[in-house]
Amino acid sequence: MSIDDTIERLKQSSDFQCESLDNGRFKIELCYFTTLCDKAVIKKEAAHPFFHAEDASEYRERLSAALSCLKLDDDADPMPDLMRGYVLIRFDDASYSLEAAMAGNDKPLHATSEMTIQGPQTAFSEDVDTNLLLTRKRYPYPALVAEKRNLGKISQTKAYLVYDKEKCDPDVLRRAKGMLERIQADTVMAVGQLEALMTETKLRWFPTMVITERPDRVIFNLALGKIVILLDGTPYALVAPAVFYDFISAMDDMYQSFIVSRSLIIMRYIALLITIALPALYVAVVSYNPEIFRMQFALSVAGSRAAVPYPSFIEVIIMLFLIEALIEASLRLPSYIGSTATTVGGLILGQAAQMAGLVSSIMIIITSAVAISNFVVPINTMSFALRIAKYPLVLLASMFGLAGVVSGMFALALYVTNLENFGRPYFRLFLGEPSVAGYKESESD
């Protein structure tokens, strides 16, 4: 397709503009998308030199000297460049394309999904170049390499594969590049989707790459020798390969004192067990093995359940469904209605459900313990994955009692242990990783 054909095709859009300029000595034609290009750049790099140029050859020299300006061959297709905010400059005999893209949302946003109390407060922006800038600024080291990729057949979303060449594992890097090559989707919009596209199996459950909005987490992981993918249009970055522990660690752990952060980590693991196992344990203990309780407690549980006509697992399923619906609703609602939903759902519904004899008061405590413990998990994707994990366990508990819960937990452990990412084991602790923030113990050196 020749340049003329391309221009004819693009002219159907009203934001595509072709202007002829004449300075009295010679003429040029500028073609660009007004919505994509920064007029100031065009004026400075194309229009202003043209005004001063004596003849076409002088102007040609000026263009060759300008930043990010390329001469196009006669048979080259300018379409991809035009779509990304380049200006096509046409003479009678030659064409140049000049980069004049307008930056999108390049303001760093406030960290909202991964808060820290005393860490850095800003997250990445929605512009990938700004994000790369943030990364470089915090990691001014020559071995930091950023490879550019355009992902998605139509969207051609700009992405950077960022890694520390000295520290990262070449095998992991090779695999990651291969995965990016193989992406077949038309549009790539978010890093979560990118993770799905990069993973081969369709039945994914636990996240195997960390999605983070925190520049400090990215820097920390780069220094650990991991690779980071920055994607245009999303304030999140993808960090790979990850181990299970990464999802349970908050950046605050590194900013707190030793004893405090270790206690918090232990607390998080306990919360993790609670959120996975508590509903199943309730069913198993209440319906199969009430002798586990103290007698005093068993009687009070029996008393509180006395008004509930349904078997325990129905009760659990009702309550868990309500709480999941509540969480989902408050996620999707605008934040100013969200708090109303929580109040209505949490307070009124919980109290009323117990009064109406639909659920026991112990069940209300369990439901809220499960929901609160779930929010303790610092990385959002993991917290979603764990929300699912309790249902198979409730199923097993209602059929096989405590033995079912134990075997379910065992099966879950087997599944997670079996997971791999980038050929590395997933369910391991942080043993053997270099101590880059004075935080994780080092075993390798």
Partner 1 sequence: MANLPKHAKRCCIIVLLCANMLSGCGFRDIDKRFFVVEMALDKGEKKPYKVSLKLAIPSPKMEPGDSKSQIISAEGDSIAETVRRMKSMVDKEFDFGHTKVFILGKPFAEEVDLRHALDWLARRRDIQGVAFLAMGQPDALTVLKVKPPSERLPGNSLILSFTREGTDSPFIVPEYWFDFYRRLRERGKDPYLPVIIPEQETFDISKVAVVAGGRSKLELDDRDTEIFNQLARYVQRSVLKGEYKGKSFEISVDQIKKKYRIVTPAEGQPSVEMHVTLKGEVEESAVSLFEKDWEMLERNLAENQKQRYVEVLEKLRDANVDPVGFGLRYRATRHHPATEWEEWQKIYPRVQFHVHVKVELKGTGIVK
Q: How far is the CB of 354 from partner 1 (least distance, A)?
A: 10
| Complex with partner 1: residue 109 or 306, whichever CB lies closer | 306
What's phi and psi for 190, nearest 5 deg?
A: -145, 160
Taking CB under 8 A as the rule, does residue 299 contact partner 1? yes
**Position among 208, 249, 398, 421 found at the interface with partner 1 (CB under 8 A):** 398
| Complex with partner 1: residue 269 or 321, whichever CB lies closer | 321
Taking CB under 8 A as the rule, does residue 288 contact partner 1? yes
Q: How far is the CB of 303 from partner 1 (least distance, A)?
A: 4
**Position among 163, 206, 247, 313 found at the interface with partner 1 (CB under 8 A):** 313
Q: How far is the CB of 403 from partner 1 (least distance, A)?
A: 10
| Complex with partner 1: residue 400 or 439, whichever CB lies closer | 400
**Position among 307, 318, 329, 406 found at the interface with partner 1 (CB under 8 A):** 307
**Position among 16, 91, 245, 400 found at the interface with partner 1 (CB under 8 A):** 400
Give the distance, in angstroms, between the CA of residue 139 and the centroid of all CA atoms in the same chain: 21
Taking CB under 8 A as the rule, does residue 184 contact partner 1? no
What's phi and psi for 279, nearest 5 deg?
A: -60, -40
**Piece of the chain touching partner 1 by CB under 8 A; list 223-231, 255-263, 293-301, 412-420:** 293-301
Distance CA 73, CA 331 (A): 51
Taking CB under 8 A as the rule, does residue 295 contact partner 1? yes
Whether the Cβ atoms of residue 95 and residue 72 lie closer than 8 Å to each other? yes
CA angle 30, 34, 40 (to 5 degrees): 75
Taking CB under 8 A as the rule, does residue 203 contact partner 1? no
Going from the C-alpha of 192 to that of each of 183, 208, 229, 290, the distances in angstroms are 14, 11, 11, 43
| Complex with partner 1: residue 301 or 376, whichever CB lies closer | 301
| Complex with partner 1: residue 202 or 258, whichever CB lies closer | 202
**Piece of the chain touching partner 1 by CB under 8 A; list 95-103, 172-180, 184-192, 297-305:** 297-305
Taking CB under 8 A as the rule, does residue 205 contact partner 1? no
Whether the Cβ atoms of residue 208 and residue 242 lie closer than 8 Å to each other? yes
**Position among 13, 289, 339, 417 found at the interface with partner 1 (CB under 8 A):** 289
Q: How far is the CB of 237 from partner 1 (least distance, A)?
A: 36
| Complex with partner 1: residue 91 or 400, whichever CB lies closer | 400
Closest C-alpha among 73, 140, 137, 74 to residue 108:
137
Taking CB under 8 A as the rule, does residue 312 contact partner 1? yes
Of residues 352 through 371, those in contact with partner 1 by CB under 8 A are: 361
Taking CB under 8 A as the rule, does residue 406 contact partner 1? no
Whether the Cβ atoms of residue 177 and residue 161 lie closer than 8 Å to each other? yes
Give the distance, in angstroms, between the CA of residue 277 and the centroid of all CA atoms in the same chain: 27
Residues in a beta bridge with 375: none
Q: Write out the DSSP string of 325-390.
A: HHHHHHHHS-HHHHHHHHIIIIIIIHHHHHHTTSS-HHHHHHHHHHHHHHHT-SSHHHHHHHHHHH
Size of the site for partner 1 (CB under 8 A): 28
Whether the Cβ atoms of residue 367 and residue 379 lie closer than 8 Å to each other? no
**Piece of the chain touching partner 1 by CB under 8 A; list 106-114, 230-238, 240-248, 301-309:** 301-309
| Complex with partner 1: residue 92 or 200, whichever CB lies closer | 200
Closest C-alpha among 118, 109, 442 to residue 256:
118
- Classify strands 27-33 and 95-99 as parallel, antiparallel or unpaired: unpaired
- Retrieve residue 396's tokens: 């097993």
**Position among 287, 330, 342, 368 found at the interface with partner 1 (CB under 8 A):** 287
Taking CB under 8 A as the rule, does residue 407 contact partner 1? no
Q: Write out the DSSP string of 186-205.
A: S----HHHHHHHH-S-S---
Distance CA 86, CA 105 (A): 18
Q: Which residues contact partner 1 (rule: CB under 8 A)?
A: 286-291, 295-296, 298-308, 311-313, 361, 395, 398-401
